[in-house]
């Protein structure tokens, strides 16, 4: 069972503010990267990551808001919403992790094999990986969704106040479900946290070393300078990702291998801290793009200038029409 009322109002307000900020910045990111002139396998991956991150925080905010409202009203229908939003948040966050890992591996291959790498890691490979990873993550979550009924149960909390807890009645046998949950927990630890973190760190180091050693970027070639900037930008994006995931990864690692030790990251405050650090890492991406990608800056300027010129053009057209009518 898990408590229905488990989030403070201050945390919900903070999550809503962060949701608005993430949605605003990531919509800009997706629009700019998916412009026809910017579209490539890298820009598609960056756009996917932005979409996954936005959907993750949206589901998390709905989860927390539902918990607070339904918990105060003692409405067990909130339990169903929590189950669904928790599953969706897991799916999209995990997809973001695997997509970022693929981006790191893709850039590493391109750095190590500058001639054959771009052909191997093209748009077709990106689409195949995105579909397969999404199917894999969804299949990991299916056992948790095989629920016959979700009901609200009133129990005394630690502070001796009565609160509603959500109880899931699984279709699968209780003992079997317990074993499946433990197996999925270990799979999640390695495939979604430890292995991606190690792979990304390795790829970051490999890209930096390769670019410097081979002098992939020469002052004589603008194309090579562009490759260096792109590699540096992606390395910084990967670093932000690793730092944003660190509190959650550390908490899961301690729960798995040192279960008897006190783990602050598994407490309610620790979980909220990890979530906030994660969301802050989402917000930093757009500033990296603006600071390190001339292509992104120029496209963003064009969009802003175009949107600011359209009202002026419309107003000029109206004035011209009025003067023509007066003349007539």
pLDDT at 122: 78
pLDDT at 174: 79
pLDDT, average across residues 33-56: 91
pLDDT tens track for 249-305: 888 888 888 878 788 888 878 888 888 899 999 999 999 999 988 889 999 998 888
Query: What mean pLDDT, rounded, does the chain reach?
Result: 82
pLDDT, average across residues 176-194: 86
pLDDT, average across residues 74-87: 83
CATH hierarchy code of domain 1-299 = 1.20.1070.10
Structure tokens of 260?
């008897």
The edge-to-edge listing of strands for the beta sheet with 2-3 is 2-3, 162-170, 147-156
φ/ψ (deg, to 5) at 216: -60, -25
What are the residue ranges spanned by the domains of the chain? 1-299
Percent of all residues in the chain with a pLDDT value above 70, rounded to a whole number: 84
pLDDT at 327: 35
Question: Which of 109, 286, 129 shows the shortest CA–CA distance to 203?
Answer: 109
> 265 near 247, Cβ under 8 Å?
yes
Q: What is the pTM of this model?
A: 0.84
> 233 near 292, Cβ under 8 Å?
yes
């Amino acid at each position: 069972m898990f408590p229905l009322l488990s989030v403070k109002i201050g945390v919900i307000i903070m999550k809503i503010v962060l949701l608005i900020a993430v949605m605003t910045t990531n919509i800009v990111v997706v629009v700019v990267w998916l412009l026809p002139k910017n579209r490539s396998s890298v820009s598609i991956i960056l756009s996917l990551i932005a979409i996954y991150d936005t959907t993750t925080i949206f589901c998390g905010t709905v989860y927390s808001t539902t918990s607070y409202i339904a918990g105060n009203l003692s409405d067990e229908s909130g339990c169903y919403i929590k189950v669904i939003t928790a599953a969706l948040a897991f799916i999209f966050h995990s997809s973001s992790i695997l997509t970022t890992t693929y981006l790191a591996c893709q850039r590493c291959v391109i750095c190590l094999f500058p001639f054959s790498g771009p052909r191997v890691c093209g748009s077709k490979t990106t689409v195949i990986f995105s579909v397969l990873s999404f199917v894999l993550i969804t299949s990991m979550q299916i056992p948790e969704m095989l629920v016959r009924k979700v009901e609200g149960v009133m129990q005394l909390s630690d502070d001796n106040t009565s609160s509603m807890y959500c109880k899931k009645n699984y279709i699968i046998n209780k003992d079997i479900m317990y074993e499946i949950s433990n197996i999925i927990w270990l799979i999640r630890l390695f495939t979604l946290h430890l292995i991606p973190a190690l792979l990304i760190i390795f790829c970051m180091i490999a890209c930096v070393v390769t670019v410097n050693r081979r002098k992939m970027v020469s002052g004589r070639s603008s194309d090579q300078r562009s490759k260096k900037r792109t590699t540096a930008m992606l390395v910084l994006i990967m670093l932000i990702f690793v730092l944003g995931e660190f509190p959650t990864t550390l908490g899961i690692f301690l729960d798995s291998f040192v279960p008897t030790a006190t783990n602050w990251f598994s407490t309610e405050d620790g979980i909220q801290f990890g979530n906030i650090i994660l969301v802050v890492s989402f917000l930093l991406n757009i500033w990296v793009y603006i600071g390190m990608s001339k292509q992104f800056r120029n496209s963003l300027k064009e969009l802003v200038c175009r949107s600011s010129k359209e009202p002026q053009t419309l107003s000029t057209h109206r004035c011209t029409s009025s003067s023509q009518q007066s003349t007539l």
